Amino acid sequence: QSLYCHLLCGLIFRDEVQVVSSPFAHSLVHAFRTFEQVWEELVVDIREGVLSNRVTVPSIRLAMSKLLKPDPELADMIYSKCSR
C-alpha cells in the first residue's frame, strides 16, 4: 500500500520530483517492477480521482483523497508512454 501511494504521488507531483534514490538498489528495482505491474491501475486512479481499493488503511485513504483529483490529461499521457 505504501509503495503504491508513493508511485501515485510521484506521478501526481512529477514536475516536483528531482531525485529518486534509495540506500539499496533492490528497493529501486522493486519499485520499478511494481510500477510495471500496477501502472494501469494508477492511470485509472489519476483519471477518476479515486484511490484504488488496494489501499485499505483509512488514514492513508484520507490523506491520499486530499491529493488525488481527476486528471484525465495526465492519465492519457502516462497511458500513452507506458502502453508502448
**Predicted confidence (pLDDT) per residue in 32-49, tens digit:** 999 999 999 999 999 999
CA distance 73 to 6: 20
* pTM of the complete model beyond 0.85: yes
Residue of 82, 22, 18 whose CA lies nearest to 46: 82
pLDDT tens-digit series, residues 23-33: 999 999 999 99
How many other C-beta atoms lie within 10 A of the C-beta of residue 53? 8
CA distance 73 to 75: 5
Cell of 44: 485509472
pLDDT tens-digit series, residues 52-69: 999 999 999 999 999 999
CA distance 43 to 34: 14
